Amino acid sequence: MLSIFVLLTAACASDGGSSAGIGGIAAGSVEDSLSACMSRIPSDATEGQRQLAEKSCERDQANRK
């Protein structure tokens, strides 16, 4: 479970080094969107993991503006 969260956080915080699989857009890239980042949060994540991942997505979105 922790490894899934770590991978998710790394994907959302990435600066475009990996492909997201959603239309080939790299996680964290300028073309990535808040909704795309949020959609990568695993459905079985705990509430705390989900909150941290959502904050990471929101941070990345703010950095892209």
**What is the chain's pLDDT, residue by residue, as a tens digit (65 residues)?**
556 655 556 555 554 444 444 455 555 566 678 999 999 999 999 999 999 999 999 999 998 87
- Taking a C-beta distance cutoff of 8 angstroms, is the pair 59, 51 a contact? no
pLDDT of residue 64: 82
d(CA 63, CA 42): 23
Spatial separation of the C-alpha atoms in residues 6 and 24, rounded to whole Å: 21
C-alpha 19/C-alpha 2 separation (Å) is 21
| Predicted pLDDT at 6 | 58
E strand map for the chain: none
